[in-house]
């Protein structure tokens, strides 16, 4: 306290970590100051000090990480490849360690595994089940028959690949393919989900950059790296 004209006046001190004009940082809790001989001191990492276990990431990356590690499969076995598909889900190969859960309803499934020969009689059920699956959804064609028709190629009753009915994301060749091949296809699908999230974030940033450029400098559209302007 200071005495001026008979009145007690409070002495001003900067608040905690407030920088005065003399280039020093005061710590009001300890009563001292922190010298900054070589420039300003870096600010403390608040996230690291408050919660050391916190990991910062984009929301798209977190959603892709959770989605890729919790795939619910709708198994659609049609022929001998279904035996290998069932074997993949058994304890010997333990597909659950990849976060894959077999689900009987298409309403909550993420991946449809079509294993075996797709005859024209089963074309409508496959399309119906695919339409009932929520987005995002993926399809795995397991075996040569589901991929291209196999030995029944150009048969009067066989569809030459399930991709003639629904879009296919992963092809697992073989007659029949081993369980390890199906596991490799599922792992590749998981990796593709993570890559799509990164590419989607990159495209969204590019679109925002293009929209900002279009609003600020219309003449720069011809030299823009964003491609053709529509």
How buried is residue 123: exposed, middle or buried, by Cβ count under 10 Å (0-12/13-18/19+)?
A: middle
Both structure tokens of 226: 């964003």
Question: Do 129 and 75 sit in the same domain of this protein?
Answer: yes
Q: Which residues pair with 33 in a beta bridge?
A: 26
User: How confident is the model at residue 116, as a pLDDT?
Assistant: 87
Cα–Cα distance measured from residue 141 to residue 163, given in angstroms and rounded to the nearest whole number: 8
User: How confident is the model at residue 10, as a pLDDT?
Assistant: 56
Question: Do 91 and 176 sit in the same domain of this protein?
Answer: yes
Question: Do 11 and 70 sit in the same domain of this protein?
Answer: no
Question: Do 72 and 124 sit in the same domain of this protein?
Answer: yes
Q: Check residues 224 and 43 and name the one with the higher pLDDT.
A: 43
0.85 exceeded by the pTM? no
Question: Do 22 and 116 sit in the same domain of this protein?
Answer: no
Asked whether residue 106 is domain-assigned, the answer is: yes
Asked if pLDDT for residue 25 goes beyond 50, the answer is no
User: How confident is the model at residue 230, as a pLDDT?
Assistant: 36
Asked if pLDDT for residue 36 goes beyond 70, the answer is no
Cα–Cα distance measured from residue 111 to residue 140, given in angstroms and rounded to the nearest whole number: 7
Cα–Cα distance measured from residue 127 to residue 75, given in angstroms and rounded to the nearest whole number: 14
Structural domain range at position 130: 63-182+189-193
How buried is residue 161: exposed, middle or buried, by Cβ count under 10 Å (0-12/13-18/19+)?
A: buried
DSSP at 40: P
């Amino acid at each position: 306290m200071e005495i001026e004209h008979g009145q007690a006046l409070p002495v001003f001190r900067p608040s905690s970590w407030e920088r005065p004009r003399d280039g020093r940082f005061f710590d009001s809790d300890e009563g001292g100051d922190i010298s900054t001989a070589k420039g300003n001191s870096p600010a403390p990492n608040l996230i690291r000090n408050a919660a050391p276990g916190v990991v910062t990431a984009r929301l798209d990356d977190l959603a892709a990480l959770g989605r890729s590690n919790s795939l619910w499969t709708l198994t659609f076995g049609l022929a001998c490849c279904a035996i290998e598909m069932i074997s993949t889900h058994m304890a010997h190969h333990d597909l659950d360690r990849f976060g894959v859960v077999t689900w009987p309803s298409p309403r909550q499934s993420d991946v449809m595994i079509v294993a075996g020969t797709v005859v024209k009689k089963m074309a409508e059920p496959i399309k119906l089940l695919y339409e009932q699956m929520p987005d995002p959804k993926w399809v795995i064609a397991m075996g040569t028959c589901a991929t291209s028709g196999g030995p029944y190629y150009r048969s009067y009753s066989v569809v030459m690949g399930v991709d003639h009915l629904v879009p296919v994301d992963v092809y697992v060749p073989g007659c029949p393919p081993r369980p390890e091949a199906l596991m490799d296809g599922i792992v590749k699908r998981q990796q593709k989900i993570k890559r799509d999230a990164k590419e989607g974030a990159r495209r969204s940033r590019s679109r925002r950059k293009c929209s900002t450029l279009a609003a600020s400098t219309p003449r720069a559209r011809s030299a823009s790296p964003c491609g053709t302007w529509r």
